Chains A and B, each alone.
Chain A
Amino acid sequence: MTFLGLTGAALVHLAIVLMLPRLSENDVWRQIETETAPYRALRLDSQSDRLAMAKSLDPMFAEFVCRYDLAEGMFTITNDTNADFWSVAIFDDHGRIVFASNDRISPSRRIRLGVAMPSQIRAIQQDPRDELRGSIVAESRRSEGFAIVRLFRPDPSWEQVVRNFIAQTQCAPVPV
């Protein structure tokens, strides 16, 4: 009976570990889904008292998030201002990294990034769009997700640069 109990314990253990990402009420996607409207940038680094995901962030960085739904079209995030260092990560609604990069990805060091489903990528390859010229396109198999941008902000004197950067960032759907 002890052997049976231990085997059962192993199964319970595995079931909980594998199902936690689906059952967690507090994972990043659920926090973002309840706190943000789609395509609206939300600053994370000042929300640490409210959001669990903001607690462990690097205090010398400013982070903001944009949520998207590819059912409304391809997601684009663009910014034409300069920052000392930025990095961007695209996550799907399971919290998996779809794409990540930093400002070295393009010679202009500007954010020009698109996320699309495989069928949308095929469509834009057949019919290139002007607004996507120079963009890097990442492929996601899941429709919903979010982009997180990190900006170097070592001290409060950088606040104006960060605010300007966030204000200039555009998250938008591009119907395909």
Chain B
Amino acid sequence: MIRDAISISYAVILAFVLGVWSAVWATADLPFYSELQVNGWRAHPSVGGDNPDPYSTAFLARSGRFQLAAAEGLQFISREDSDGEALDGACIYRISGNTPLTRLWTLQVVRDGVPIDSAALGIPVSTHSQALVRDRDGFFGIVISPTPRPGNWIYPGPNGPFRLILTLYDTAIASSRGLSEIVMPTVERVDCDSG
């Protein structure tokens, strides 16, 4: 009798603890299975569509955020450089190449999930497609460095991990995919201040 009670309560506790923990874990971020990966950049095109999956919906409800609709644009996040190392404020990176065809895009440095406030710092922590100096062929290079650089320069904030968010506005790739290969700029580490 007591043995039965113990094993039933074991099953109930296991179900409850594991169920709650796994649900909290699974809704802490957008789900990995709907992720689109291009050159180290990750996006979730289905979130902006008509029928986002239950995990994306749960994430949005829990975080209290709203999504960018597919007709508005698509957001890409990069946490790593081209070698797979996490982005760090102490290092110098070069973002080069081009974006998919889009009317407008913005690039920001994000720390702890929140974009850094450019107005408070008074130095560039973000850029957009209409503010860049470009090459003759339309390609661009942006240097992310703790110290000012000539050309397109972004300050990543103090030492420590950061993310880059590249948001494409009015882009065909958000609503239709697979017709042509998606091109995203490469994030390459140039140097690291190990001290």
Q: Which residues of A contact B16 (CB under 8 A)?
A: 8-9, 12
The stretch of A74-82, A93-101, A109-117, A125-133 that contacts the partner chain: A93-101
Q: Which residues of A contact B131 (CB under 8 A)?
A: 154
B136 within 8 A of A: no
Residues 14-32 of chain B, each 1 if its beta carbon lies under 8 Å from chain A, else 0: 1111111011101100000
Q: Are A60 and B126 in contact (CB under 8 A)?
A: yes
Give B169 Cβ to nearest chain A Cβ, in Å: 6
Task: Tell whether A59 pairs with B118 under 8 Å between CB atoms, given A8-B19, A9-B18.
Answer: yes
B191 within 8 A of A: no
Whole-angstrom CA separation of A28 from B41 in the bound complex: 27
B61 within 8 A of A: yes
Task: Name the CB-closest residue of B to A21.
Answer: B61
Residues 42-80 of chain B, each 1 if its beta carbon lies under 8 Å from chain A, else 0: 000000111010110110111111111111110000000
Number of interface residues of B (CB under 8 A): 58
Q: Are B27 and A6 in contact (CB under 8 A)?
A: no
A16 within 8 A of B: yes
Whole-angstrom CA separation of A21 from B55 in the bound complex: 10
Give B59 Cβ to nearest chain A Cβ, in Å: 8
Q: Which residues of B contact A52 (CB under 8 A)?
A: 63-65
Q: Are B104 and A85 in contact (CB under 8 A)?
A: yes
Q: Are A12 and B15 in contact (CB under 8 A)?
A: yes
B114 within 8 A of A: yes
Whole-angstrom CA separation of A154 from B14 in the bound complex: 51
A27 within 8 A of B: yes
Q: Are A12 and B23 in contact (CB under 8 A)?
A: yes
Q: Are B64 and A26 in contact (CB under 8 A)?
A: yes
User: Which residue in A13, A85, A102 is a CB contact (below 8 Å) of B22?
Assistant: A13
- Minimum-distance CB pairs A-B, first 10: A12-B19, A8-B15, A5-B14, A100-B69, A52-B64, A9-B18, A16-B23, A5-B11, A20-B58, A87-B72
List A residues at the B interface (Cβ < 8 Å). 1-2, 4-13, 15-18, 20-21, 24, 26-28, 31, 48, 51-53, 55-56, 58-61, 85, 87, 89, 91, 95-97, 100-102, 104, 148, 150, 152, 154-156
List B residues at the A interface (Cβ < 8 Å). 7-8, 10-20, 22-24, 26-27, 48-50, 52, 54-55, 57-58, 60-73, 103-104, 106, 108, 113-115, 117-119, 126, 128, 130-131, 165, 167, 169-170
